[in-house]
Amino acid sequence: MRAELIRSLFVVALPTSLSSVVYKAARNSLGLQTPNWTSDGEFLNADRFILISEPNENGSVKFTVEGQERARFKKITEFLNQVVVSHGFAYKDVVQPFVVSRWIKENRPPTLKVKRNIADVAYSMLSKSNNWHYPGRLFPETEPVELAVIQGLLRAQEALDSIPGVEIDFDRLIEDEGSLYSALTSLYGDGVRIKDPEYIDHKFRARRDEVMGRRSTQEYAAILDYVKRARESSVWRGFEEKTRNGILRALSDAMNRAARLRARV
């Protein structure tokens, strides 16, 4: 099948989840094009657009949530509708999980979901070399910033988990190129010719060993503690919300019953 007849692929993940490597390998395996006006297919990250004079990882708005920024959320969705080509291309997103999750559920394109351990993601984002705090904008009153960032990542992961598609685990990806081939085959079936992905080489293995070594450090242990606290906080907020909604429903039911009784009288 010619590339222009293949449905466009979407690769979604949290930041620092090997998504660029996966994107390039998957695009090459399928023979899909990349949008030339951005880098690594990041079609909702204005920091990557060709119109930016130099790379700037903190210039554009990220992690937009409809409940907090309804007008911006709508405009980003409209932008997405206008720029996406339905066939022949590959796209990637790691900075607008809430917009993308809504759009993918409505449009159902072939979607590859890369899932990485939250502690790994937070460690990388909070490192001095990156210092990316934008997931924390969802929880501006939460301190310290590490906790806010992780709470934002957990909420983003919930959105990504809700997307229909094929999920592939980070730890499998870094060990076996065949796992990516299997995921692409699940998405496209036998009607599309898929070349074997190639991305694991000597340089990749060295970097992989370095990254996995982080899990035995004190810094990583501190991140794990923040993740535990964030999960406990998220569970409690969910319980509070369900309780509040339950009370409101009970009050509404009671008021409706009272109104019906008055009507009978």
Mean of the pLDDT values across residues 233-255? 55
| Phi, psi for residue 7 in degrees, rounded to 5 | -60, 140
Mean of the pLDDT values across residues 160-176? 97
The pLDDT value recorded for residue 128 is: 82
DSSP 20-80: HHHHHHHHHHHT-B--TTSSTTBTT-GGGSTTSSS--TTSS--S--TTT-HHHHHHHHHHH
CA-based angle 82:73:16, to the nearest 5? 90
Q: Which domains does the chain have, with CATH numbers?
A: 3-216 (3.40.50.300)
Instruction: Report the alpha-carbon distance of residue 117 to residue 128 in Å, rounded.
Output: 20
Percent of the chain with pLDDT over 70: 84
Does residue 136 sit in helix, strand or coil? helix
> Is the predicted pLDDT of residue 73 greater than 70, yes or no?
yes
CB within 8 Å of 229: residues ≥ 6 apart: 147
* Alpha carbon of residue 247 to chain centroid: 33
The pLDDT value recorded for residue 60 is: 84
> Is the predicted pLDDT of residue 239 greater than 50, yes or no?
no
Query: The whole model's pTM is what?
Result: 0.85
Give the model confidence (pLDDT) of 96-118 as tens digits: 999 999 999 999 999 999 999 99
The pLDDT value recorded for residue 242 is: 45
> Is the predicted pLDDT of residue 204 greater than 80, yes or no?
yes
